[in-house]
Structure 1
Amino acid sequence: MTIVSVLVDTTVVGSAAGSLIWRRGASGSGGRRRWWTAGGPEAALALVVGLILLNEVLVSVYVLRVHGGDPSFVTRYLAPGWFETDRGSLIRRLAAVWPAPGLLAPSVLRVQATLELPFGLLAYLSALRWLDAGLYRRVARSPLLGCAAVAYTVVFCAVEWFFHSPYTAWDIGLRLVSAVVTPLWIAAIAGREQGTAAEPGRASSAAELLLFCGAAGALGYLVLVLYGTVLLYNLGLLGHQLPGAAVALMILVGCRTLARRLRPSAPPGPAVAAVGSGLRWFLVLFFAPALAVRYAVNFGTPWVALGAVAVLALTAAWLALRATASVRLLLTLAGAAVLGLLAGYAAVSAVADAYYEATALRGFAVFVLTVLAACLLADRLSGGSGGSGTADAAGRALPPW
């Protein structure tokens, strides 16, 4: 077992424990508006993605002009599958007229080292905001955000050390700076939004939860596309991914547009309310260890990651159900969970993906949608029985910040 795997496994366990300890976050009052806090996490994420794409263009120019299109000066330190830079006619024309291309040297690895943390945190928090805007704000202004930033940074630095190169010291230094600045920036964005009227609410009905799953799944797909292309300096491969990315973007925009236009509906039945509560709890608890779990598959111990996810999932279920533990509801949810696991397993087994993250995303999405559909059917068949008090209690069984 190497020091990198020990660091990754320790981060999985430590960040999962931190999520369980810091379940109670600190709410805060709204902050004054600043230009760098305008918009929500989605706007900040779009800015970060734009900077990453711009840097990819500069990397392609640098490799063409300074290294004659040969990236071996850096790829010899990395695993296969990196630096398929763009060498198309537009990049070549741009490279031909770019002044002082040697000054673009920092675009290689160092810019990404600065932007990778805000990219990951903002993508996760954007999805959480779609599920529950108030919960997002509290998480973004609680110690849990700092815990997540530290956990992500430890994993990033461990991987940097694994691929040790002349860039490593600079990259680790920049990642440490980003670990300080990024949480402050995100907390400021959430603070400016605190208490404003123009904000998304809480997804609680079956339709709202369905639209959330569609938007979150589409965002996850886009994150994987960006990871496999521009975050690995494979701008030359981005064109092959554009059709799928365009479809995912349309799904995301469509789901978010419909979610904003949904009319208020009756409170959900007890089973659907419990699913929504459990989903909120799980996303909060999984926030900090998410990246460590992802890297544990390659650089750590997969069983440690799987165990941590199981503990967090069971904890989320207990927290969601502790106020609604009727026998009928427990049996309904248990049956829905079994159906979801079977459907998720079938979805995972059906297609072989280039990245295991895509497999996990598809399996989780199918699991949640199956559970939601089964619970909706159960609520309809029972006529919402179990008592309105049960549904109300399920709706209140949320992270108590």
Structure 2
Amino acid sequence: MRSRGVTAWPTVVAVFIDAVVVVSVVLALVLAPRVPAAVRRGPTRPSTGRSVPPLAALAVVTGLVYVNQVLFTVYVLRVHGGDPSFVARYLPTGWFELDSDSPVLRWLADGFPVPELLAPSVLRVQAFLELPFVLLAFATVLRWFDAGLYRAIARSALLPPASVSYTVVFCLVEWDLRNPYTVDDLVVRGVSAVLTPLLLARLAARDTGTTRTPASVSGLLVFIGSLGALGVLVLVVYDTALLYNLGRLDDRLPVALAAAGLLAGLRGVAHRLRDDGAAPGLAMSFVRHLLFRWLALFFVPALAVRYGVMFGTPWPAAGAALVISAAACLGAGRDTVAGTEDATDAACLRAGRPRTLALLPAGRLTCAGLLGTGAAYAAVSLSPGPYYEIRALSAAAAFLVTAVVACRVVDAVDRRRPGAGSPTQARSGASAS
């Protein structure tokens, strides 16, 4: 959501961000493969204290972000006569559209006793809150998909590198948009980088959630819809608050309310969905394993890839996304085979085929991926708005929805093929033999 301004060293900043992308991907490839085993083991000790889901913590942080916006507006009205140019001149266009004409904010400003004390609301407070905001948003998605995955990642060796990677990227962006507050912001972000992982690890240690998205069309589509709705809300917060554009809130409010309502409805549906115990088709099982692996792998380099497109070089960011996706596909393939091999051994032996070829309909999965890619391209072409995040969110949603539906069709076709069947059918055949 941020744009690069005119800077003295854009090339140096871009090189450093590209380096963060590469290092983050390498760390993810080394550390993320340990996550599935940690999920299977479960927590090493029972949770203690009250369980607070990351969504609740995210709501608190978001509230603090908007409180700071109100205090910043009060500060500008009282100390700078309503003119934010004292800081806006250092940053690119698209920042500091204040709601200075709001009668409520003017009433607060008129009655605030010592407005000079609100000076830290200029960039410093947001610098502290941005890291917990993005990490808690990612943690919320993890918990929706699989509470065990959330706990494993938040208590694993992935969390400190993620905090460092995100913070280094934020600091590089700060330097690229440097202003009189930059040094303070860098120090504040460093403090946040230490405290935020401790908070997230503590939340995960107390978590007792049992949510798990099933490998079904309904379960995966509800998860994808939840992901999209949360993504819209995150973009609204960035656009209206983290970029100090409280004056845009009235225009964005209908979109935010619609996304919040959709999210509430989808999470209600998710709580009513239950895994019926039936084995999913191979393609749907592969999709769930793929999302599981991708979320674990993308946790560390997520922010570096995002900002690499704007402040770094797009090609390393795109290459990182491809490497992460390829690694997730390979891991998902192994997980799918491992999860069904006992049930299908007899069926594969009777058919005289290697187990891996019998289990993974690679050609049809590739077709599903190509259909998803086509849908993503169409979504990008039709997406409005000046921010590439909107196009990326639309593309991701279109790809996932199309791929999930296509994989469900693949499973339906496979079940009708002579000699083929679902893992459940194969398990029955193995038992009979």
**CA apart distance, 1:202:** 3.7
Residue pair 1:28, 1:138 contacting (<8 A) in 2 also: no
1:359 corresponds to which residue? 391
1:169 corresponds to which residue? 183
Residue of structure 1 aligned with 2:221, choices 210, 213, 219: 210
Residue of structure 2 aligned with 1:2, choices 3, 7, 11: 11
- Are residue 346 (structure 1) and residue 378 (structure 2) matched? yes
User: How many residue pairs were aligned?
Assistant: 386
Residue pair 2:294, 2:325 contacting (<8 A) in 1 also: yes
Residue pair 2:128, 2:192 contacting (<8 A) in 1 also: yes
- Are residue 58 (structure 1) and residue 71 (structure 2) matched? yes
**CA apart distance, 1:30:** 3.7
Residue pair 1:78, 1:163 contacting (<8 A) in 2 also: yes
Q: CA 1:30–1:162 in structure 2 vs 1: closer, same or farther (change >3 Å)?
A: farther
Equivalent-residue separation in structure 2 for 1:54 and 1:351 (angstroms): 31
1:320 corresponds to which residue? 332
Q: Supply the AA of the counterpart residue of 2:333.
A: L
**CA apart distance, 1:2:** 2.3
**CA apart distance, 1:204:** 2.3
**With structure 1 as the length reference, what TM-score do the two structures score?**
0.92
2:304 corresponds to which residue? 292
Could you list the per-position Cα deviations for residues 330-372 of structure 1 after superposition, in whole angstroms to 9, with x for gaps in the alignment?
Answer: 1221110011111111111123322100101110111011010
Residue pair 1:203, 1:212 contacting (<8 A) in 2 also: no
Equivalent-residue separation in structure 1 for 2:273 and 2:308 (angstroms): 40
Residue pair 2:215, 2:287 contacting (<8 A) in 1 also: no
Unaligned 5+ runs, structure 1: 393-401
Equivalent-residue separation in structure 2 for 1:75 and 1:282 (angstroms): 38
1:185 corresponds to which residue? 199
Q: Supply the AA of the counterpart residue of 1:75.
A: A
Residue pair 2:371, 2:403 contacting (<8 A) in 1 also: yes
Secondary structure of 2:180 counterpart: coil
- Are residue 370 (structure 1) and residue 420 (structure 2) matched? no
Is the deviation greater in 142-151 or in 317-326? Answer: 317-326
1:246 corresponds to which residue? 257
Residue pair 1:145, 1:288 contacting (<8 A) in 2 also: yes
Q: CA 1:376–1:350 in structure 2 vs 1: closer, same or farther (change >3 Å)?
A: same
Q: Supply the AA of the counterpart residue of 2:58.
A: L
Residue of structure 1 aligned with 2:94, choices 51, 60, 81: 81
Equivalent positions of 1:2-401 (< 5 A) are 2-23=11-32, 24-25=34-35, 28-33=44-49, 38-87=51-100, 88-193=102-207, 196=208, 198-265=209-276, 266-322=278-334, 323-324=336-337, 325-326=356-357, 329-383=361-415, 385-388=420-423
1:399 corresponds to which residue? none
Residue pair 2:279, 2:422 contacting (<8 A) in 1 also: no
Unaligned 5+ runs, structure 2: 1-9, 338-355, 428-433
Secondary structure of 2:385 counterpart: coil
Equivalent-residue separation in structure 2 for 1:17 and 1:41 (angstroms): 27
**CA apart distance, 1:92:** 0.8
Residue pair 2:280, 2:422 contacting (<8 A) in 1 also: no
Residue pair 1:31, 1:191 contacting (<8 A) in 2 also: yes
Secondary structure of 2:415 counterpart: coil
Residue pair 1:41, 1:122 contacting (<8 A) in 2 also: yes
Equivalent-residue separation in structure 2 for 1:390 and 1:179 (angstroms): 50
Equivalent-residue separation in structure 1 for 2:383 and 2:121 (angstroms): 36
Residue pair 1:205, 1:267 contacting (<8 A) in 2 also: no
Could you list the per-position Cα deviations for residues 15-51 of structure 1 after superposition, in whole angstroms to 9, with x for gaps in the alignment?
Answer: 11111111214654344316xxx41111110110010
List structure 1 segments (4+ residues) > 6 angstroms apart after TM superposition. Answer: 389-392
Equivalent-residue separation in structure 2 for 1:261 and 1:359 (angstroms): 31
Equivalent-residue separation in structure 1 for 2:160 and 2:426 (angstroms): 34
Q: Percent identity?
A: 51
- Higher alpha-carbon Rg: 2
Q: Supply the AA of the counterpart residue of 1:240.
A: D
**CA apart distance, 1:391:** 9.3
**CA apart distance, 1:267:** 2.5
Residue pair 2:383, 2:390 contacting (<8 A) in 1 also: no
Equivalent-residue separation in structure 2 for 1:237 and 1:391 (angstroms): 57
Equivalent-residue separation in structure 2 for 1:161 and 1:308 (angstroms): 23
Q: CA 1:391–1:100 in structure 2 vs 1: closer, same or farther (change >3 Å)?
A: farther
**CA apart distance, 1:387:** 4.2
